[in-house]
Amino acid sequence: MKSNNALPVEALPGRVHCYMCTHNVEATVLKRGSARQTQPGQTCPRCKASLDSSYALEVFSELAAA
């Protein structure tokens, strides 16, 4: 049986969608296997809202590798 928790988590620079101001902003994105998640505790540089529930759009290092 395979557990997702066993995969290493990488914190990488990326871009997330802020639901409060509906802009895409740069933030640290956690990458676990193929799953991506916004790192908790960050705030939006535009509207200062919490990015905890924001959607992770891109991880920059993945774009560079593509």
Contact residues for Zn ion (CB under 5 A)? 18, 20-21, 44, 46-47, 49
Q: Strand 55-59 to strand 9-18: parallel, antiparallel, or no bridges (unpaired)?
A: antiparallel
16 close to 51: Cβ distance less than 8 angstroms: yes
> Cβ 42 to Zn ion, closest distance in Å?
11
Region class of 11: left (phi > 0), else alpha (psi between -120 and 50), else beta: beta
> Cβ 60 to Zn ion, closest distance in Å?
19
> Cβ 55 to Zn ion, closest distance in Å?
12
Nearer to Zn ion, 19 or 37 (CB): 19
